[in-house]
Amino acid sequence: MAVENFIVSARKYRPVTFESVVGQQHITNTLKNAIKNNQLAQAFLFCGPRGVGKTTCARILAKTINCENLQPNGEACGVCGPCISFQNGNSFNIHELDAASNNSVDDIRSLIEQVRIPPQAGRYKIYIIDEVHMLSQAAFNAFLKTLEEPPHYAIFILATTEKHKILPTILSRCQIFDFNRIKVDDMASHLASIAKKEQINYEPDGLHIIAQKADGGLRDALSMFDQIVSFSDGKVTYRTVIDNLNILDYDYYFSIIDSLLKEDTAGTLLLFDEILAKGFDGSHFISGLSEHFRNLLVSKDTNTLKLLEVSEGIKAKYLQQSQASSVSFLLSAMNIANQCDLSYKLSKNQRLQVELALLKMCHLPSAFNMLTAPATEMSASAGQIKKKPDTPELSQSITGKTSNPAPVSSDQPAIDHTAIKTPVTEKEPGKTGSETVVSDKPKPFIPNLHTASTSVKIPSLKELSNASAAEIAEEEDPFIKGDAMEDFTMDSFLKYWSDYAARIKAERNMSLFTIFTANAPTMLEPYRFEVAVANKTQENMFRDEKPSLMNYLRVGLKNFSIEVNTRVDEIKAAKRPYTTTEKYQYMASKNPQLAELKRRFNLDLD
């Protein structure tokens, strides 16, 4: 039984026409129009990443140029003599040179000798030089003249993955075409068409994973496709793809986000441990998590939904989870993941880096809830914190009733409860029963004498006034109001100035400390001072520190009229003699006899 030779998909399904090229329509349309209009350049340069169709387009262009029966759409017929000879690999008009292995000046000289021979059949001789950036400097120089003024029948097609290594003199002589990375959707559609031709069962999610893993290169995608087909015995499913290509399942990331939103720290750490147990690296996980946050963020808006390069089934999951995640949470979590990714390689305990990042993300929802709490709740909680344990409390409802009131003692002064105004809801004449207004009429306080006595003591008015006065005295600082005007001496001012400078020195801000110690401040008028600084930089530094300094001086000296300003007093550096002539002139100015000595003995400065 004869065994057929297996041909990999990248060769078997290599495009042979411009229409079959995947994802490069902007280039193929330009080349077809140039052929139809007979406006061919003498040199082309195809640039782009690996596996996007540079060499394939060069071969299709070479075949189409010499086709004897060009089709109306600009494609080669494929049945004429030049087309048949090209397909069989024995065309004498198309020459390919691999510059990676033939990069010497002798190889280029041999090529130049071939260029001088005109074609025996057909109109053009086409030279395809692949990986042209590998040519040596001498080879480039030898190639320049021929590339600038080639014979009318010679066309050069250069291909490279590293355009920046090409000499500018070469670039200026070529028509440059930049190939794009092939989109995930285009690549997945091409893989699906090949699977149908080969009668291979597939899942769209699996083909999308292959297309994403290929990173824009169709040749890589076809190689992975063949590998998956061999591994799964002709069934390309989502599960077989992620198992064979060592890709972390989407479901893990969706589960991680669900645990983060629930603030389930234990579940999050256990999921990460399960991922590590399957052999995945922590760096791979954190980069994938960052990508997942990014996908959730673009799913929040319909305008950015096109940036989501996943299958429809996965896209539905992203849309569902994005609705449960706030933009603030996603941005903060993405920032934490990015910082973890940056510090991962430098850490000695890499697992701890990832776990710490996950724990920070777990506490993001509760942090945002505290920030977005209603103002009434925040003020209520603040009041509870501020309340003193010894302060007597008087509990009274809005209707005037008290909860568990104590019997009124005879030795306490009577409280005029009728003076307490309580908003009362009552009907206004002429209004319907559903319409009410709030009245400020005093409502008498009616104690409930039938309830049991408690240990709660109703404070007297004197106690209430004393407590209020104590709270006011404790909470209000008379110097914060900014109206204190006490006098002080210059010595007192300089003492506080020195104390502040010492505090700056303790903070190790020596540049600012120099400003405070270089020149003592001078008084221009009462409460108004001026300090000299050396330059604009010191002035800016003092301006940044001035609010804190003013607060320190005003509170310490109990005078809020104090004002300190700066004056730039630049010190011009004395010019020092540097050259021999400058040194002689400087010494001669100090001792005129030196000039007479030089003249009498005819001395040189050197």
DSSP states along 445-488? ----TTSPP-S--PPPHHHHHHHHHHHHHHH--TTTTT--B---
Both 53 and 172 in one domain: the answer is: yes
Both 152 and 242 in one domain: the answer is: no
Tracing tokens 């990375």 back to the chain, one arrives at 181
- The answer to whether 76 touches 19, Cβ cutoff 8 Å, is no
| Domain endpoint, select from 342, 366, 390 | 366
CATH number, domain of 562, equals: 3.30.300
Tracing tokens 């945002």 back to the chain, one arrives at 368
Range of the domain at 338: 186-366
The one-letter amino acid code at 229 reads: V
The one-letter amino acid code at 273 reads: D
- Per-10-residue mean pLDDT for the chain, 606 residues long? 65 84 87 86 89 88 86 82 83 85 86 85 85 87 84 89 87 89 87 87 86 85 87 82 82 90 91 89 90 90 83 85 88 91 89 92 77 50 44 39 43 43 43 44 45 45 50 44 72 88 84 82 87 84 86 86 84 64 83 84 78
Both 352 and 496 in one domain: the answer is: no
Taking the C-alpha atoms of residue 269 and residue 250, their distance in angstroms, rounded to an integer, is 17
Quote the pLDDT of residue 24: 86
**Is residue 407 situated within a structural domain?**
no
> Dihedrals φ, ψ of 566, to 5°?
-115, 155
**Is residue 394 situated within a structural domain?**
no
Both 163 and 241 in one domain: the answer is: no
Both 249 and 163 in one domain: the answer is: no
Beta strand residue intervals within 465-554, DSSP E: 522-525, 528-533
**Is residue 579 situated within a structural domain?**
yes
Quote the pLDDT of residue 585: 83
> Dihedrals φ, ψ of 26, to 5°?
-65, -25
Both 285 and 313 in one domain: the answer is: yes
**Is residue 422 situated within a structural domain?**
no
| Domain endpoint, select from 145, 180, 215 | 180
Question: What element of type H or E holds 438?
Answer: strand 436-439
Beta strand residue intervals within 110-153, DSSP E: 125-130
Both 128 and 245 in one domain: the answer is: no
Helix (H, G, I), strand (E, B) or coil at 19: coil
- The answer to whether 325 touches 257, Cβ cutoff 8 Å, is yes
Both 204 and 293 in one domain: the answer is: yes
Taking the C-alpha atoms of residue 405 and residue 119, their distance in angstroms, rounded to an integer, is 116
Both 100 and 41 in one domain: the answer is: yes
Both 217 and 125 in one domain: the answer is: no
Taking the C-alpha atoms of residue 296 and residue 310, their distance in angstroms, rounded to an integer, is 12
**Is residue 95 situated within a structural domain?**
yes
Dihedral of alpha carbons 331, 333, 339, 344, sign: negative
Quote the pLDDT of residue 416: 46
| Domain endpoint, select from 159, 180, 201 | 180
Both 244 and 307 in one domain: the answer is: yes
**Is residue 277 situated within a structural domain?**
yes
Both 559 and 581 in one domain: the answer is: no
CATH number, domain of 113, equals: 3.40.50.300
Measured between alpha carbons, how far is residue 216 from residues 53, 146, 163, 231, 482 in Å?
11, 35, 18, 23, 67
**Is residue 309 situated within a structural domain?**
yes
**Number of domains making up the chain:** 4
Taking the C-alpha atoms of residue 522 and residue 531, their distance in angstroms, rounded to an integer, is 6
Tracing tokens 């990460």 back to the chain, one arrives at 272
CATH number, domain of 268, equals: 1.20.272.10
